[in-house]
């Protein structure tokens, strides 16, 4: 069945790699994740956001996740699969996911005053741990999509808070803010990408030895996809993400979970646009979604093998 993050993170910490956390909203995304992770023998976290729940229905997604485990076994793979709630925003939502069979939840109280974040997170941990469900908390605020200069709109994690937060809440992992942001426009276009704040990460590691750190907003915004999108009628000028080399550096550190959503969206959009550009007569969704799914498999294998280092670690 579905597993929590405990053993995955312990192994990732010891082996100096990161577990990929891919968001999914539909069948093709989930099939691609399962196939790519099975073929690369990578442990995986599949995650459901608030947006995914309202798009596809939480129950539907949960059964799909259970189906994903079964599908992996049927194609001969023993990879561990964790079903995680991404950016849970209330105790009630986290509780409902725990009750319905998620194996991990995030409670994102990062926008709250510190003591409120602590209290909310603690409440979720106390509930979730009764059912062996792992909990991710967050300290520091990631910049929002399309902020002009992401760094100026982020509130970096304060390393002096992390030890107290983990001790008081009992969380299993902690998401931190070191300069990443969600979406496809993370940094100013046409300028050198400012490096992530590895100094802040190092300070957090020093205060929390051996404790799993999570990196959100970690898409690279693959330029081949952006170019393909623009070539086939899209308008995504200036889309830019986190360079792979920085993600490799993060994966080798205490960062045990790297969240990737936007790169998958770009792969799908690029391939669907290209498909229609080349074959405007096609109207069978299996054709263009199939092309998108094939590209997603390639992207995920590439991430696991050459960026996160999770390939072969299941
Ligand atoms: O954290 C954000 C994820 O990329 C999910 O975004 O709420 O649009 O599904 P979403
Ligand atoms: P990206 O938008 O960089 O893919 O980040 C995804 C994420 O952090 C999901 O929680
Ligand atoms: Na790591
Ligand atoms: Zn996120």
Q: Is the CB of 110 under 6 A from ligand 1?
A: no
Look at the block and give the residue holding tokens 């992207």.
299
Q: Considering only CA atoms, which residue is closest to atom 2 of ligand 1? A: 182
| Predicted ipTM > 0.85 | yes
Span 25-38, average pLDDT: 98
- Choose between 143 and 210: higher pLDDT: 210
Tell me the pairing of strands 134-139 and 213-215. Answer: unpaired
Tell me which residues have their CB within 5 A of the ion that is ligand 4. 216
DSSP state of 112: S
Q: How far does residue 95's CA lie from ligand 2's centre (Å)?
A: 23
Give SS3 for 91: helix
Instruction: Write the pLDDT tens digit of every residue in 155-193.
Output: 999 999 999 999 999 999 999 999 999 999 999 988 999
Distances 46 to 169, 192, 257, 267, 285 between C-alpha atoms, Å: 24, 32, 11, 17, 24
Q: In whole angstroms, what is the distance from residue 137 CA to residue 235 CA?
A: 35
pLDDT value of residue 147: 45
- pLDDT over threshold 60, residue 149: no
Q: Considering only CA atoms, which residue is closest to atom 5 of ligand 2? A: 217
- pLDDT over threshold 70, residue 152: no
Give the residue, out of 50, 55, 88, 185, with the most ligand 1 atoms within 8 A of its beta carbon, to mutate for a pocket test: 50
For the entire predicted model, the pTM comes to 0.97
Q: CB-based contacts of 210: which residues, under 8 Å, 6+ apart?
A: 13, 254
Q: How far does residue 217's CA lie from ligand 1's centre (Å)?
A: 10
Q: Is the CB of 23 under 6 A from ligand 1?
A: yes
Q: How far does residue 87's CA lie from ligand 4's centre (Å)?
A: 6
Q: Is 86 a catalytic residue?
A: yes
First CA to last CA distance, the chain: 15
- How high does pLDDT run on average in the chain? 96
Closest CA to 158 of 174, 135, 144, 176: 176
Interhelix angle 27-39/58-74, rounded to 10 degrees, is 30
Atom of ligand 2 nearest to the CA of 263: 4
Instruction: Write the pLDDT tens digit of every residue in 62-100.
Output: 999 999 999 999 999 999 999 999 999 999 999 999 999
Domain residue ranges in the chain: 6-308
Q: How far does residue 19's CA lie from ligand 3's centre (Å)?
A: 8
Q: In whole angstroms, what is the distance from residue 49 CA to residue 53 CA?
A: 6
Atom of ligand 2 nearest to the CA of 86: 10
DSSP state string for 139-185: ESBPBPTT-SSHHHH-B---HHHHHHHHHHH--SEEEE-SS-BSSSB
pLDDT band at 143 (very low <50, low <70, confident <90, very high): confident
Q: Write down the CATH superfamily of domain 6-308.
A: Aldolase class I (3.20.20.70)
Note the residue count of the chain: 314
159 close to 195: Cβ distance less than 8 angstroms:
no
């Amino acid at each position: 069945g579905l597993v929590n993050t405990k053993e995955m993170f312990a192994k990732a910490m010891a082996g100096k790699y990161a577990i990929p956390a891919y968001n999914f909203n539909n069948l093709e995304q989930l099939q691609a994740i399962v196939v790519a992770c099975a073929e690369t023998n990578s442990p995986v976290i599949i995650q459901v956001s608030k947006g995914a729940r309202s798009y596809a229905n939480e129950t539907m997604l949960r059964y799909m996740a259970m189906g994903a485990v079964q599908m992996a076994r049927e194609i001969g793979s023993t990879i561990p699969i964790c079903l995680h709630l991404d950016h849970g925003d209330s105790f009630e939502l986290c509780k409902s996911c725990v009750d319905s069979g998620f194996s991990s939840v995030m409670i994102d109280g990062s926008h709250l005053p510190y003591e409120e974040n602590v209290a909310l997170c603690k409440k979720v941990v106390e509930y979730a741990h009764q059912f062996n469900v792992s909990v991710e908390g967050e300290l520091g605020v990631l910049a929002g999509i399309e902020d002009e200069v992401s760094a100026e709109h982020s509130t970096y994690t304060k390393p002096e808070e992390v030890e107290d937060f983990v001790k008081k809440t009992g969380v299993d992992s902690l998401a931190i803010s070191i300069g990443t942001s969600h979406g496809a426009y993370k940094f100013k276009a046409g300028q050198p990408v400012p490096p992530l704040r590895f100094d802040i990460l190092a300070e957090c590691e020093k205060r929390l030895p051996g404790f799993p750190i999570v990196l959100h907003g970690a898409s690279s915004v693959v330029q081949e996809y952006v170019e393909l999108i623009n070539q086939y009628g899209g308008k995504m000028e200036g889309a830019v993400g986190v360079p792979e080399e920085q993600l490799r550096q993060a994966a080798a550190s205490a960062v045990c979970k790297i969240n990737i959503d936007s790169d998958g969206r770009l792969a799908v959009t690029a391939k669907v646009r290209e498909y229609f550009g080349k074959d405007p007569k096609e109207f069978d969704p299996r054709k263009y979604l199939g092309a998108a799914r094939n590209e997603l498999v390639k992207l995920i294998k590439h991430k696991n093998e050459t960026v996160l280092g999770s390939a072969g670690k299941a």
